[in-house]
Amino acid sequence: MRLPLPEADVIYYPAFLNPDTADAFFKALQNELPWQQDSLRMFGKTIPIPRLQSWHGDPECTYTYSGLTMPPNPWTSTLTDVRNRCNHVCKTRFNSVLANWYRHGQDSMSLHADDEPELGPNPIIASITLGEARPFIFKHRETKVRHTHVLEHGSLLVMAGATQSHYLHGIAKTVKPIDGRINLTFRRLIVSNSM
């Protein structure tokens, strides 16, 4: 299903993974990945990021965003399985993934764009949701118009074309008692072959 976002190319696959497979991946990733809570320096203070993260990729895929530089952890069997499924649908070869574990409703991701130089001008991002469904917010950079779409367990959201140029996206906090959600955002970093 294509989302009705002007100046964007966003497709949502609500049942990309069947429920049993999605359940198995969710449980496996909680134990397979070396989760950590990084901190950012903002307004002269060190603030812990409100979620756990784990960066994985091919050996050359070091990633920098928001002042954090993350060398890649190796691919796990579960990440490789999910990556292969995303590669097939998106007709590309993703070489890295950022895993985010939102443990409860207070874990969040502020509005941002995946527009780092190493992603190129019109990156394709494949976003898998495992666990609790959460509202995903898009905000147009110029008009400020917001669009919210709930990302369900086992779903795939693909952002491509000029989406990152025109929209910010994020996950808001909620006071509702909710279970955890793991989000996998597969990317293709442009890496230099020179040493």
- Note the CATH architecture for domain 9-34+50-187: Sandwich (2.60)
DSSP 114-178: ---GGG-SS--EEEEEEES-EEEEEEETTT--EEEEEEPTTEEEEEETTHHHHEEEEE----S--
The answer to whether 17 and 56 are in contact (CB under 8 A) is no
Task: Give pTM, 2 decimals.
Answer: 0.93
Write down the pLDDT at residue 194: 39
Please name the amino acid found at residue 192: S
Going from the C-alpha of 174 to that of each of 101, 110, 177, the distances in angstroms are 15, 13, 8
The answer to whether 82 and 75 are in contact (CB under 8 A) is no
Structure tokens at 51: 């979620």
Termini Cα distance of the chain = 42
Structure tokens at 134: 């959460």
> Which residue, chain included where needed, has tokens 């307004």?
43
Q: Phi and psi at residue 93, in whole multiples of 5°?
A: -120, 105
Domain residue extents for the chain: 9-34+50-187
**From first to last of its 195 residues, what are the pLDDT tens digits of the chain?**
999 999 999 999 999 999 999 999 999 999 999 999 988 877 788 888 999 999 999 999 998 877 788 999 999 999 999 999 999 999 999 999 999 999 999 999 999 999 988 999 999 999 999 999 999 999 999 999 999 999 999 999 999 999 999 999 999 999 999 999 999 999 999 987 533
Write down the pLDDT at residue 195: 36
C-alpha closest to that of 158 among 14, 10, 17, 22: 10
